[in-house]
Amino acid sequence: MKYRELVDVYEALSQTTKKLEKIAILTDFFKDVDSKDIDKVVLMSLGLVYPKNSEEEQGVGDKILMKAISQVFGVPISKVEDNVREFGDIGQATEKLYKEKTQQTFLSEELTVEFVFNNIRKIAMISGGKSQSRKMDIISGLLSSASGIEAKYISKTILEELRLGVGEAIVRDAISDAFGIDKKITERAYMLTNDLGLVAGYAKEKGEDGLKELNLIPGRPVKPMLAQLSPGIDLSIKEMGEAICETKYDGIRVQIHKKGDEIKFFTRKLENVTNAIPEMIEPVKNACPNEDFIIEGEMIATRDEKPISFQYILQRVRRKYDIDKAIENVPLTLYLFDVLYYQNPLIDKPLKERRKILERIIKPREKINLSTKVDVNVDNIFEAEKLFKDSISKGHEGIMIKNPNEPYIPGIRGKKMLKFKAEPETLDVVVVGGTYGLGRRSKFIGSYLVALKQDNELKTVAHVATGLDDDTLEHLTNLMEKYKRYDKGTKIFVEPKIVLEIAYSEIVKSPEYEAGYSLRFPVVKRIRNDKGVDDIGTVKDLKAMFKS
């Protein structure tokens, strides 16, 4: 397939904001794509070349890309930067520079989807000496062979900044419509694989029955089931009728996979952090069965057998150097609470059955424990309240309240699993901009513009400027520079990469922000490196919380 055909679809998608029209455009396109290209086209319609479950990262920053653009079009890097600042979009800047180029390149042959896809993938595989120049060579080769509008979208895809308002749900529904498959079946296949390219390939080649073949496989991470805030222990338990209540640990949620002799640890963002925590592999092997499995748990940092700040565990799982020193300074403990695969996939079984299986196959020992839990109903709610008080007294966050009769639903947030914490309510938000401070903090970005999700867009909701010490401000400022799109005076606008957890006193209506609401007295609780933009709160959630 010619890459220009995909580019024409990009252009059509950019001309509408309506979800149904976007689905229709992709549906018609997917129908005509060959089987050998369908997986690539589906991923590239999301602006990706790797599925969400992949451990590969493209690893290209805007600075490398701008250097390549500068070389290809024979202009100073400062001119590229000026154009990016003007448009706030590297793709549009690239297209403009192409049009201004005096000596046009004669194309020897048209670009294909396969060629563009494979070359962008090659970039991720480059490491070691002279990796930057080797990456630039590939980028320069692509841009030199492209037309202006192709160069626009190649640049955007390299940075994973397609920005066409096309999210996973739109692509998933288009796959269903293109190949005549029940949306629930497509959704389930995607939940179990986290790979829409794979789903599309099965849908095209094997239809509905083929999608039903897709299931959990140890070694391939699956999106975690998500929790909502509980309005209160008694209210939640009365609504469920009965509940499994567990201590809520303040750590990193991990999914542990055993396939053959290999153990892997994945975060809730599906990042493989096994190499950062090598001391946990042997304890898992000793405590868990010698069969393939997928088990979930919470990993916390401890000192003198007591939990310590969440930031320590973040530092551990992101550590690439001096691992031995980190192991000594920040000991880890793992609390297991669910099993998704053991001998067979278990997610369709109710939680109470999964928990029984977990308790049967796990042998707690040093570093590995089962989560503390109680079974409650409307007649012994006091047991849940007692667990909450005990959990808080031991330095944990609160409790989880789970419906014991429900299956495990990957990637879904709902009332089947709730969290009740002692601290003020918090929201996970993504930073989209900021403002440099004044006085002694003028070298730091002191105020952060944050946003929530609404459909496939981000809506601003507040500025937050408190809860940050100088070390954190310096770290955040460096990240903001790394992800900068453009700046205007003291203001900077960035890619939505930095997730913050913020506490607040109340929600208020506000025309000042795109969400239509804002937060009073927001305070940064912590940087959530374990979460991405897909994990942040939504405007819908905020409205529901405002009403309640």
107 domain-assigned: yes
How many C-beta neighbours within 10 Å does residue 303 have?
Answer: 12
Residue 203 lies in a domain: no
Number of other residues whose CB lies within 10 A of the CB of residue 148:
15
Cα-based distances in Å from 105 to 69, 102, 313, 382: 14, 10, 51, 75
In a domain, 83, yes or no: yes
- Tokens standing for 266? 């994945």
Using an 8 Å Cβ cutoff, are 10 and 26 in contact?
A: no
CATH number of the domain that residue 450 is part of: 2.40.50.140
The backbone torsions φ and ψ at residue 223, rounded to the nearest 5 degrees and listed phi first, read -60, 140
Q: Is-contact 161 90, C-beta < 8 A?
A: yes
Of 110, 130, 158, the one marking the end of a domain is 158
Q: Do residues 228 and 419 make contact, with C-beta atoms less than 8 angstroms apart?
A: yes
Does a structural domain hold residue 369?
A: yes
* Residue 66 CA: distances (Å) to CA of 55, 69, 88, 154, 170: 25, 5, 13, 13, 31
> What distance in Å separates the CA atoms of residue 389 and residue 398, rounded to the nearest whole number?
8
The CATH number of the domain holding residue 65 is 1.10.3260.10
Integer Cα distance of 512 and 420 in angstroms? 31
Claim to verify: residue 469 and residue 387 sit in the same structural domain? no
Q: Do 248 and 388 sit in the same domain of this protein?
A: yes
Task: Please indicate, yes or no, whether residues 506 and 404 belong to a single structural domain of this protein.
Answer: no
Give dist(CA 277, CA 5) in Å, integer: 45
> Domain check: are 232 and 297 in the same one?
yes
Give the number of domains in the chain: 3
Amino acid of residue 10? Y
Domain shared by 463 and 540, yes or no: yes
| DSSP H/E element including 114 | helix 113-125
Cβ atoms of 529 and 431 within 8 Å: the answer is no
Cα–Cα distance, 395 to 413 (Å, whole number): 26
If asked whether residues 94 and 234 sit together in one domain, one would say: no
User: In which residue ranges of the chain is pLDDT below 50?
Assistant: 106
CB 346 within 8 A of CB 354: yes
Q: Does 298 map to a domain?
A: yes
Which structural domain, as residue segments, surrounds residue 107? Answer: 3-158
Of the residues 388, 403, 421, the one at which a domain ends: 421
How far apart are the C-alpha atoms of 261 and 240, rounded to whole Å? 40
pLDDT of residue 255: 96
Do 55 and 145 reside in the same domain of the chain? yes
Token pair listed for 211: 């999608």
Q: Is residue 309 located within the same domain as residue 456?
A: no
User: How are beta strands 413-421 and 226-229 bridged, if at all?
Assistant: parallel
Q: Strand order in 373-377's β-sheet? A: 226-229, 413-421, 398-402, 242-248, 373-377
Is residue 189 assigned to a domain? Answer: no
Residue 18's alpha-carbon distances to 11, 15, 31, 164, 400, in angstroms, are 14, 9, 21, 11, 38
**Quick one: pLDDT at residue 221?**
92
For residue 202, being part of any structural domain is answered with no
Positions annotated as catalytic residues are 248
Amino acid 118 reads N
* Residue 287 in tokens: 């405590």
Nearest C-alpha neighbor of 310 from the set 364, 253, 265: 253
* Angle, vertex CA 462, rays to CA 267 and CA 156, nearest 5: 60
Q: For residues 365 and 363, what is the distance between their CA atoms, to the nearest angstrom?
A: 6
CATH number of the domain bearing residue 364: 3.30.470.30
Q: Where do the H-state alpha helices sit in 330-371?
A: 351-361
Structural domain includes residue 251: yes
Summary count for the chain: helices (H), strands (E) = 20, 21
End-to-end CA distance of the chain: 52
- pTM across the whole model: 0.77
State whether 137 and 28 are in the same domain: yes
Same domain, 321 and 406: yes
Residue 283 CA, distance from chain mean position:
28
Q: How many angstroms separate the CA atoms of 460 and 494, rounded?
A: 13
Of 128, 158, 188, which residue sits at a domain end?
Answer: 158
pLDDT at 214: 92
Q: Which residues lie closer than 8 Å to 183 by C-beta, 6 or more apart?
A: 172, 173, 176
Neighbour-count burial of 96, counting CB atoms closer than 10 A to its CB (0-12 exposed, 13-18 middle, 19+ buried): middle
| Paired sense of beta strands 523-527 and 499-503, if any | antiparallel
Please give the Cα distance from 393 to 389 (Å, whole number). Answer: 6
Same domain? For 384 and 253 the reply is yes
What backbone torsions phi and psi does residue 39 show, to the nearest 5 degrees? -65, -40
Rg (CA), the chain: 24
Answer yes or no: do 488 and 399 share one domain. Answer: no
Helix (H, G, I), strand (E, B) or coil at 208: helix
